[in-house]
Amino acid sequence: MNQTHYQPRGRHFEDFAVGDSMVTPGRTVTETDIVQFCGLSGDYNELHSNAEYAKQSPFGQRIAHGPLGLIIAVGLAGRLGFLEGTAQAFLGLECKFKRPIFIGDTVHLKTTVAKKREMKSLGGGILVIAFELCNQRDEVVQEGNWNLLLKGRTEAERKTA
């Protein structure tokens, strides 16, 4: 019997060009997401964990933690698979929290390659990906940049590509 082994579907550094963009499917943020993030992080700020307190806030209801939105964005990027098996390191990020994320919001991610710099000594290069996490009204709730080290193609892979 023949077996097919899983092959990561990530793209190599050379496969990206500045300006390339991708959009993910959506994902609805639930109360469970917020409760689990409270437990995982230990952040039980009243805006996230106390419905009565949050009613009196400028938002009128509980909101998701800012870092929860960022983690959801990373997960959405993972669904696209473009970094699977080729991302070597997450070097850093910049993130701005523009709007609250409410329970029931459906968010999606827009990514664009902003910069790339070859790093032959590291076997690939650095990719700067600009991202926007948007709600169901296409309003940007978070935006920023991810700096990633991506694997380049080997000599053999370049010959067959």
Q: Quick one: three-class SS letters along 137-154?
A: CCCEEEEEEEEEEEECCC
In a domain? residue 8: no
In a domain? residue 20: yes
Q: What pLDDT is stored for residue 9 in this prediction? A: 78
In a domain? residue 85: yes
In a domain? residue 59: yes
- The DSSP letter of residue 45 is -
CATH number of the domain to which 43 belongs: 3.10.129.10
Q: What pLDDT is stored for residue 161 in this prediction? A: 61
Domain range for 70: 13-160
b/e burial code for range 78-104 (CB count within 10 A of at least 16 → b) = eebebbeebbbeeeeeebebebbbbbe
The count of structural domains within the chain is 1
In a domain? residue 127: yes
Kindly give the parts of the chain with pLDDT less than 70.
Answer: 6, 8, 156, 158-161
From first CA to last CA, the distance across the chain in angstroms is: 29
pLDDT per position as a tens digit, 118-157: 999 888 999 999 999 999 999 999 999 999 999 998 776 7
Nearest to 69 by CA among 34, 116, 19: 34
Tally of CB atoms within 10 A around 22: 13
In a domain? residue 53: yes
Q: 0.85 exceeded by the pTM? A: yes
In a domain? residue 1: no
